[in-house]
Structure 1
Amino acid sequence: MRFFFVVIAFFVCALTDAQQYYDVTKFGAKKDSSAKATAAIARAVKAAAAAGGGTVYFPAGKYLTGPIHLKSNITILIDAGAELHFSDHFDDYLPMVESRYEGVDVTSFSPLFYANGVEHIAITGSGTIYGHGKKWWDFVEGYKEGQPRSKWQLEFDRLNKDILLPDDPKQMKRGFLRPPFIQFMHCKNILIQGITIRNSPFWTINPQFCDNVTVHAVTIINPGQHAPNTDGINPESCRNVHISDCHISVGDDCITIKSGKDAPGRAKARPAENYTITNCTMLSGHGGVVIGSEMSGGVKKIVISNCIFDGTDRGIRIKTTRGRGGVVEDIRVSNIVMKNIKEQAIVLDMEYAKVPEEPVSERTPRFRNIRLSNITAYTKEALYINGLKEMPVSEISLNDVVFEAERGITLKNAEDISLNNVRVNTQLGPALKADVAKRLSVINLEAKQLPADAPMIWLNDVKGARIQDCWPFTKAGLFTRITGPATEKIVVKDNLVEDAAIQIDPEVKAGEVIKR
């Protein structure tokens, strides 16, 4: 009797599990892409939602579809051997929906996967989804100002008459905004796992104003050439985001953290916070992990660890400009290997766009409390920090880092900077140049290779510096050059060099450099 009840319980559980699956082919979807499956998929989603939730299942096959809109408690399961091919007919992505484009709130084309105000949603499986982005890319790159506006641009104009525009509204006024591949708005408890994504029209995974987002073991492949703005993962104004074990090769930044642009972003005041990014590999892309430049709502409490960047233009990049406002703070980067980096391994730039200096206000951005450690980088330029005259970059530390670079470290308009156990081998210029800086600590800076005509360290208009326990290895020439009439309170001590290797230019006030 007990065995009988166990068997019955097993079959009841099996039946319950089976009832949770909604095979799209049972709702009319064709597995050979002979007809669009948009309506059939929508029926499967609706049936699952009516039952309180379930899994919309794509068995092996090739499906052609328009946008897929998710509801609460829905999992999209794309099985091994299944391919979802999204239509490249622009009309399929009408009617336009609430969206966000580069930090500005708009009504625009439906994203390929879309949800708004729902919870407990997932896209999982071992299958592949194709965005067929080329037609979208070609339209944008081929559009010329002044040519007749398309029906899609006219519809955009009609729906966006009163939107709050950024400082430079050119893109918004053009009025043809490609849809992101996956954009979830105002959602909670999101999982994207296991799938392969190819050829996105625009940003690939782009949650907005969401809480508790997990992106795990996802592969994203967008062409490195002629695929503009095809970033990999762009969580914007979200909380509690977890990105791990992903493989990304794209036509723009691999992973980007954003929180709105200029006045629209400040008005929302929704920071990006509590993000962890780990165990990812980034190949082709403008940047490995990038913060900004749309960071007007603020970015804080971000941890990036155990990643490899191989072939990106830059490794870690934090960028903004005057007019953005917002604060980037409490950032930790550790255990990173970078190879074949075409520009800077690490860049913190507050003049991403050249804007005239202005008084400090809510339009003034800030970078502070950023810690980088245990990094090895083979790159064109090691580190570039460029703050604003009215708002220097502050509280930055670099610990246990090795750079093999054409050019070394540049600091400008920066304060409270600490370099500890850093090796910089350069082919051009000094290992470290600091220009207009305050409170600089350099301890155990090493250089195995330096150009013969450059000092290892060049300080210009630096107020307060400690240069200690540094070693240029075999360099017999100039160790430190100190220049600038604003220079003061410089201590150079316990370095493996002769006093003659320290050059103090005449404009430096007497007594401001102490050699021990």
Structure 2
Amino acid sequence: MKIKNIIILLCFVTGFNTAFANDGWLNILKEGGNNKGVICTQAIQGAIEKASKNGGGTIFFPAGEYLTGALKLKSNITIYLDSGALLKFSENFDDYLPFVEMRYEGIVMQTFSPLFYAKDAENITIKGRGVIDGQGKAWWNEVYRIETAKGPIPETKYQKMWVEQNKGIVYSAYYQRTIDKHFFRPAFFQSYNCKNILIEGVTFQNSPFWTINPVFCDNVTITGITIFNPHSPNTDGINPSSCRNVHISNCHISVGDDCITIKSGRDEDGRKYGRPTENVTITNCTMLSGHGGVVIGSEMSGGIKKITISNCVFDGTDRGIRIKSARGRGGVVEEIRVDNIVMKDIKEEAIVLNLFYDKDTKAEPVTEKTPIFRNIHMSNITGSNVNKAGMILGISEMPVQNISFSNINMDAKEGFTVSTATDVEFHDVKVNASMGSSFKISDAKNIILDNVGSSTPIKGIPVIKLDNVSNMMITNNFPFYATDVFIEADGAATKGIYLKNNVFNNVSTVIKKGKDLDKNAIVE
């Protein structure tokens, strides 16, 4: 009886292990694929289709080198790359046909299929410890060839296809130069109108264009991945566009454009869909090479709201936190929180909110085309070897509004510039500028400077410089170091500047008054 029980038990265990190993798991080497670098798109796509028909499953890539063209992901499919697996994508543009519907730089169009593409699907996963290589150089070189041509050049079959399949596409006049190329590179990963997306652990490198680009998606988690796109054009790292409930964590990113960018569509096309990106958390990430660490915009016509960015390091990016738009975009950026950030070797601004991103245009009536930045708060930020601590630049018909900075320490060449803004507060902010004032504020109202200053005041240069500023409180300031000039104020519109609870024992000149300043503008 005991022997019989043991036999039954062994059969059960063997059966269980066999079922566990095979049920829902498809080893690509057993599905017609190869790990010798010979193209096997058909085998991989066939495995995806096979798993999909069975309700879903995992396509498993053991160690080795694989080559494929574009892959269409389906619901309930996991792509799993084991350690030592290298999945390369073809350099032949034909392998990304036929064109599919996708969003490119905020405009929905028909163009090359993304390398991984999913539409109207759910429960999609890419995970493992393997490497996925987009071999983007062929795409980069084609863009260079088109953009650097000295004169008109014959259009390729791909450009002719784009024109034929995108008749009636709507775009703003300033985007004409981009449209005229008729060549739009594919994203590495774009899920379009999907939900429940997980990307975990893998390394993406050499993307043709943007790397991870969910569009119109709900519940997206991206964690523990590495993105490496060196010396390459427009190869942003992670770009959620018109998505809800996005979680980005523990990622390491070094790219040829912005590291993480939050978007929601461009101009009229973005407003037509009217889908904001909202409920986004970004945490515990490191960003190295890139135009920006975390960027919001410039395609934000559908709106962007409820975003938190925390516990990140930007080391060597061109900018740190960047929020950008322009007249004509429309959309509202609001309810943004940034906290616990360390920046080093920032080539331009550590923090920038700019409503003049695309072009210098004249004021116009407030309409749906007017972009709005409001309710944005940043705290606990340290920056060293920064070119410029920060810049806020609003437009006259819609100043940047309700902005605060708390517990900021910056060692920078230049300080903060605030222009055309209202309801801006600086609390416990120290900016050690090596040239110019630490704080330059103009054409602004409702401002608080609370315990601000510089550890390296410059002789003859005011720490705070005001021009046409109204309704302002400067309070709780105690310069520790010998300071030549603390405040310089000018401008006929400057008024209601209140100084309270300050100790200026170490200051030679507390207020330097300009020739246009009203004698009653400052109240001590």
Q: Structure 2-normalised TM-score?
A: 0.95
Aligned 1:410-421 pairs, distance under 5 A: 410-421=417-428
1:164 aligns with 2:170: yes
Distance 1:166 1:495 in 2: 51
Aligned to 2:134: 131
Cα distance per residue 1:93-119 (max 9 Å; x no partner): 110101110000000001101100000
Candidates 48, 54, 57, aligned match of 1:54: 57
Aligned to 2:233: 228
Aligned to 2:96: 93
Candidates 319, 340, 362, aligned match of 2:368: 362
Query: Shift of the alpha carbon at 1:475?
Result: 2.9
* Aligned AA (1:25): L
Aligned to 1:237: 242
* Aligned AA (1:31): N
Cα distance per residue 1:222-258 (max 9 Å; x no partner): 01x2x10000001110000000000000000000000
Distance 1:475 1:385 in 2: 29
Query: Shift of the alpha carbon at 1:276?
Result: 0.3
Aligned 1:399-438 pairs, distance under 5 A: 399-438=406-445
Gaps of 5+ in 2: none
* Aligned AA (1:508): L
* Aligned AA (2:202): I
* Aligned AA (1:374): N
Distance 1:314 1:123 in 2: 30
Cα distance per residue 1:470-506 (max 9 Å; x no partner): 2332233111011100111110122221684212223
Cα distance per residue 1:179-233 (max 9 Å; x no partner): 000111001000000001110000000000000000010000001x2x1000000
Aligned to 1:319: 324
Aligned 1:31-42 pairs, distance under 5 A: 31-33=35-37, 35-42=38-45
Q: Secondary structure at the residue paired with 2:237? A: coil
Say if 1:184 and 1:208, in contact at 8 Å, map to a contact too.
yes
* Aligned AA (2:181): R
1:148 aligns with 2:154: yes
Say if 1:23 and 1:58, in contact at 8 Å, map to a contact too.
yes
Cα distance per residue 1:120-142 (max 9 Å; x no partner): 00000000011111111011012
Query: Shift of the alpha carbon at 1:357?
Result: 2.1
Say if 1:467 and 1:493, in contact at 8 Å, map to a contact too.
yes
* Aligned AA (2:277): A
Aligned 1:216-295 pairs, distance under 5 A: 216-223=223-230, 225=231, 227-295=232-300
Say if 2:334 and 2:373, in contact at 8 Å, map to a contact too.
yes
Query: Shift of the alpha carbon at 1:17?
Result: 2.5
Cα distance per residue 1:275-325 (max 9 Å; x no partner): 000000000000000000000000000000000000000000000000000
Distance 2:366 2:115 in 1: 41
* Aligned AA (1:437): A
- For the aligned residue pairs, the C-alpha RMSD in angstroms reads 1.5
Aligned to 1:22: 26
Distance 1:16 1:169 in 2: 57
Distance 2:509 2:77 in 1: 72
Aligned to 1:308: 313
Cα distance per residue 1:358-392 (max 9 Å; x no partner): 11111000000000000001211001000001110
Aligned to 1:507: 516
Distance 1:310 1:512 in 2: 42
Q: Structure 1-normalised TM-score?
A: 0.97
Say if 2:294 and 2:322, in contact at 8 Å, map to a contact too.
yes
Query: Shift of the alpha carbon at 1:4?
Result: 7.5
Query: Shift of the alpha carbon at 1:459?
Result: 1.1
* Aligned AA (2:349): Q
Aligned residues, how many?
512
Say if 1:328 and 1:366, in contact at 8 Å, map to a contact too.
yes
Say if 2:457 and 2:481, in contact at 8 Å, map to a contact too.
no
Distance 1:5 1:388 in 2: 78
Aligned to 1:486: 493
* Aligned AA (2:103): R
Q: Secondary structure at the residue paired with 1:429? A: coil
Distance 1:61 1:506 in 2: 74
Q: Secondary structure at the residue paired with 1:174? A: coil
Aligned 1:320-359 pairs, distance under 5 A: 320-353=325-358, 354-359=360-365
Aligned to 1:63: 66
Q: Relative to structure 2, which stretch is displaced further, 472-481 or 337-346?
A: 472-481
Say if 1:105 and 1:164, in contact at 8 Å, map to a contact too.
no
Say if 1:456 and 1:472, in contact at 8 Å, map to a contact too.
no
Say if 1:428 and 1:450, in contact at 8 Å, map to a contact too.
no
* Aligned AA (2:430): R
Distance 1:69 1:116 in 2: 8
Candidates 187, 202, 224, aligned match of 2:209: 202
Summarize the Cα distance change of 1:58–1:479 in structure 2 as closer, same or farther, 3 Å threshold: same
Q: Secondary structure at the residue paired with 2:462? A: coil
Say if 1:97 and 1:108, in contact at 8 Å, map to a contact too.
yes
* Aligned AA (1:136): W
* Aligned AA (1:468): T
Distance 2:430 2:6 in 1: 70
Q: Runs of 4+ in structure 1 displaced over 6 angstroms?
A: 1-6
Distance 2:222 2:91 in 1: 26
Candidates 390, 396, 401, aligned match of 1:383: 390
Cα distance per residue 1:413-457 (max 9 Å; x no partner): 010001001111011111101000010001000311022121010
Aligned to 1:82: 85
Distance 1:3 1:494 in 2: 85
Distance 1:161 1:71 in 2: 29
Query: Shift of the alpha carbon at 1:24?
Result: 1.0
Summarize the Cα distance change of 1:377–1:6 in structure 2 as closer, same or farther, 3 Å threshold: farther
Aligned to 1:121: 124
Gaps of 5+ in 1: none
